A and B are shown apart, each in its own frame.
Chain A
Amino acid sequence: MAISRRTIVLGVAGLLLALVPPIAALTNQPFYVDLFRRMMIFAIAAVSLDLILGYGGMVSFGHAAYLGIGAYAVGIPAFHGIDNGFLQWSLAIVASALTALVMGAISLRTSGVYFIMITLAFAQMLYYLGISLETYGGDNGMRLAARSKFGGPIDLDQPMVFYYVVLAILVLFLVLGGRLVESRFGMVIRAAKSNEPRARAIGFSPFRYKLTAFVIAGGAGGLAGALLANQTEYLTPEFMHWTRSGEIMFMVILGGMGTLVGPVIGAVVLLLLEDVLSALTAHWQIILGPLLVLVVLFAKRGLFGLLLGAASRDG
């Protein structure tokens, strides 16, 4: 069986990521464990968005909402003394998936720009809801009382352990996602993106499949949010702001949408860029803005797309 370019990139990336903690320990730079862990968490969020954006053609500007829900699903129980990780993270996934079900059921009745606007509006609605939760910090947010507890060797307060947990989840998502997009289900989604009238004409009713994909992506985003809360140990409604959705979308596009691996690259590159630029000037966003415009205008296929070369098999 021929090994595709994709698998090679995946393998190399996975190896490099796995080596970060030992290298950081050797060079006495623990900061990098933290940085790459943060990148991987956003990579997970970006991969979940790629499922519906890159493969499904659903331009959801409300994806950050799930990160917020996932984060609060960890933060609120922790606030009340419940720090069982299994409970919290399950809640994060289920709550996000349910939200996605409701949001999707309404939004997917529309398409095009209406869809973009309505997902944007829904996310903003959740943002305002978050702000109104005075008990949990309102618009200031709140500290995470304690990290999620799992018992046994999985102690998230140990930076390296936490790192490998995140890495494992990222790899799991990439594997599951890879199977999903090639499965019968994945084919329907991709066909609907490629040519929806055609998909309908041969007998697919795309709505139920799109909604399912939307829910899966939502649940996955929720898990990313749970991880993010543990990472930053602070959660605010800002997690859900629509501009955050835009940033995640930027990661997907920058890396290459519709590739699953691309978003990982996009997340790493974007966050590295932000890190480097913010060290140079407090006003680094003024570079990021035009950069996004340039990427959209000239490098639409993203970094991974460029890596794959001109002839890409399919969408």
Chain B
Amino acid sequence: MTVTVALVLEQTLNGLQYGVMLFLMAAGLTLVFGIMNFVNLAHGSLYMVGAYLATAFAAWSGSFVLGAALALPATLLVGIVVEVVALRTLYERDHLDQVLATFGLILFFNELIAIIWGRAAIYTSLPPFLGGHIRVLPGVPYPAYRAGIILVGVAVAVLLWVLVTRTRLGMRIRAGASNRTMVSALGVNIRLLYTLVFGLGAALAGLAGAMAGPIYSVQPGMGEAILIQVFVVIVIGGIGSIRGAMVGAIVVGMADTLGRAFLKPMLATVISPPAADKAGPALASMLIYLLMAAVLFFRPEGLFPARGRS
């Protein structure tokens, strides 16, 4: 494989695009953990629900965009129902209970999806207007769809920034991330705040899922594959911090994508090609975990911990 500037650019953009997906998931998860002190293993299931609903609505309506647009509020609804029915009682419990209970939810959702849609991966076709390439630089075409994801990610990041720094709700969210009991003592309706935050997280996960359809495989268990990486993002970025989620997501997205693409050829320059062939992919898949271990070793609270937590 010859490493060209075009290839590097393409993979960098891919890393950015993957980072966007991770950011959408991480933002919701880190808020839920930061404000409600709640570990939600089932966050990946919401991503999966978003992907399946988007595919189903797209098939029903004939329009990809409409499908995605409908999947968002639908996933939001699923999230809120789950929160009210199953999760409320867990806020008071310790993390082990939360982890186990949400693990149980994972099993439930995976099986539910399998019952309705079967275990085989389903495919979403790209709408024609998004199927082409755009010219990032002369001679460097990039899939329009992936570029679209990056744009959506930037838009969401801006919207979140506005929400968190400029609105009342955002102020309460930031206060809650710093000091939960104080916020409650100040008379804010904690129940409602929690439900809203959880719903926001669900919507973001649903958006990620809806966009994932055309480029990643949609099958039961897809949530867990990305969930672990989302945890890594949050640990690196700092729990409870959206800024941390953003930085962490880009770092992990880049490291993972570029690692997979270039570690093998890079290794081949120092060790023999057959050895690089074996070691390259193995090392690439371990890369982000090594990164996480390093961050935990030197700065256990993460790179951008929410104020008042370190």
Interface residues of A (CB under 8 A from B): 59, 61, 106, 109-110, 112-114, 116-118, 120-122, 124-125, 128-129, 131-134, 242-243, 246, 249-250, 253, 283, 285-286, 288-293, 296-297, 300
B139 to chain A, nearest CB (A): 34
B117 to chain A, nearest CB (A): 12
Chain B residues contacting A124 (CB-CB under 8 Å) are 228, 289
Taking the complex as formed, is B306 at the interface, i.e. its CB lies under 8 A from any CB of chain A? no
* A289 CA to B297 CA, complexed, in Å: 35
Number of A-B residue pairs at CB separation under 8 A: 117
Chain B residues contacting A114 (CB-CB under 8 Å) are 235, 239, 296, 300
Chain B residues contacting A132 (CB-CB under 8 Å) are 278, 281-282, 285
* A121 CA to B292 CA, complexed, in Å: 9
Q: Determine whether the beta carbon of A106 is less than 8 Å from that of B111.
A: no
For the complex of A and B, list the 3 residue pairs with the smallest distance between their C-beta atoms, beginning with the closest: A289-B108, A292-B104, A289-B107
A279 to chain B, nearest CB (A): 16
User: Considering the complex, which residues of chain B in the window 194-237 have a beta carbon less than 8 Å from any beta carbon of chain A?
Assistant: 224, 228, 231-232, 234-235
Contact of A249 among B100, B232, B239 (CB under 8 A): B100
Q: Please name the residue on chain B nearest to A249 by beta carbon.
A: B100
Report the stretch among B13-21, B52-60, B91-99, B163-171 that lies at the interface. B91-99
A216 to chain B, nearest CB (A): 21
* A132 CA to B115 CA, complexed, in Å: 31
Chain A residues contacting B278 (CB-CB under 8 Å) are 132, 134
Taking the complex as formed, is B106 at the interface, i.e. its CB lies under 8 A from any CB of chain A? yes
Q: Determine whether the beta carbon of A125 is less than 8 Å from that of B289.
A: yes
Contact of B235 among A118, A246, A288 (CB under 8 A): A118
**Which of B107, B235, B296 is packed against the most chain A CB atoms within 10 Å?**
B107
Q: Determine whether the beta carbon of A289 is less than 8 Å from that of B106.
A: yes
Taking the complex as formed, is B33 at the interface, i.e. its CB lies under 8 A from any CB of chain A? yes
Q: Determine whether the beta carbon of B39 is less than 8 Å from that of A106.
A: no
Q: Determine whether the beta carbon of A293 is less than 8 Å from that of B104.
A: yes
Q: Determine whether the beta carbon of A121 is less than 8 Å from that of B231.
A: yes
Q: Determine whether the beta carbon of B231 is less than 8 Å from that of A117.
A: yes
Question: Which size bracket describes the interface of B in this complex?
Answer: 35 or more
Contact of A59 among B96, B104, B107, B239 (CB under 8 A): B96
Taking the complex as formed, is B105 at the interface, i.e. its CB lies under 8 A from any CB of chain A? yes
* A291 CA to B101 CA, complexed, in Å: 9
Q: Determine whether the beta carbon of B95 is less than 8 Å from that of A293.
A: no
Q: Determine whether the beta carbon of B99 is less than 8 Å from that of A59.
A: yes
Q: A114-B300, A121-B231, A128-B285 are in contact. Are A283 and B111 (CB under 8 A)?
A: yes
Q: Determine whether the beta carbon of B33 is less than 8 Å from that of A291.
A: no
Q: Determine whether the beta carbon of A288 is less than 8 Å from that of B107.
A: yes
Chain A residues contacting B224 (CB-CB under 8 Å) are 242-243
Chain A residues contacting B95 (CB-CB under 8 Å) are 59, 112-113, 116
A52 to chain B, nearest CB (A): 12
* A291 CA to B108 CA, complexed, in Å: 9
**Known A133-B282, A296-B101; 18 more pairs at CB < 8 Å:** A106-B293, A109-B297, A112-B95, A120-B228, A121-B232, A122-B289, A125-B285, A128-B282, A128-B286, A246-B100, A246-B103, A283-B111, A286-B107, A288-B107, A289-B111, A291-B104, A292-B103, A297-B89
Chain B residues contacting A242 (CB-CB under 8 Å) are 224, 228
Q: Please name the residue on chain B nearest to A243 by beta carbon.
A: B224
User: Considering the complex, which residues of chain B in the window 88-136 have a beta carbon less than 8 Å from any beta carbon of chain A?
Assistant: 89-90, 93, 95-97, 99-101, 103-112, 114-115
Taking the complex as formed, is B155 at the interface, i.e. its CB lies under 8 A from any CB of chain A? no
B233 to chain A, nearest CB (A): 10
Q: Please name the residue on chain B nearest to A103 by beta carbon.
A: B293
Chain B residues contacting A134 (CB-CB under 8 Å) are 278
Taking the complex as formed, is B9 at the interface, i.e. its CB lies under 8 A from any CB of chain A? no
A45 to chain B, nearest CB (A): 17
* A96 CA to B54 CA, complexed, in Å: 43
User: Considering the complex, which residues of chain B in the window 1-59 have a beta carbon less than 8 Å from any beta carbon of chain A?
Assistant: 33, 39
Q: A113-B95, A292-B107 are in contact. Are A118 and B115 (CB under 8 A)?
A: no
Q: Please name the residue on chain B nearest to A130 by beta carbon.
A: B282
Q: Determine whether the beta carbon of A118 is less than 8 Å from that of B296.
A: yes
* A290 CA to B103 CA, complexed, in Å: 10
Q: Please name the residue on chain B nearest to A293 by beta carbon.
A: B104
Q: Determine whether the beta carbon of A125 is less than 8 Å from that of B286.
A: yes
* A291 CA to B100 CA, complexed, in Å: 11
Taking the complex as formed, is B66 at the interface, i.e. its CB lies under 8 A from any CB of chain A? no
Taking the complex as formed, is B86 at the interface, i.e. its CB lies under 8 A from any CB of chain A? yes
* A122 CA to B95 CA, complexed, in Å: 19
| B 262-303 binary contact with A (CB < 8 Å = 1; else 0) | 000000000000000010011001100100110011001000
A280 to chain B, nearest CB (A): 14
Q: A120-B228, A132-B282 are in contact. Are A283 and B289 (CB under 8 A)?
A: no
Q: Determine whether the beta carbon of A109 is less than 8 Å from that of B296.
A: yes
* A243 CA to B100 CA, complexed, in Å: 11
Q: Please name the residue on chain B nearest to A241 by beta carbon.
A: B224
Q: Please name the residue on chain A nearest to B104 by beta carbon.
A: A292
Q: Determine whether the beta carbon of B228 is less than 8 Å from that of A121.
A: yes
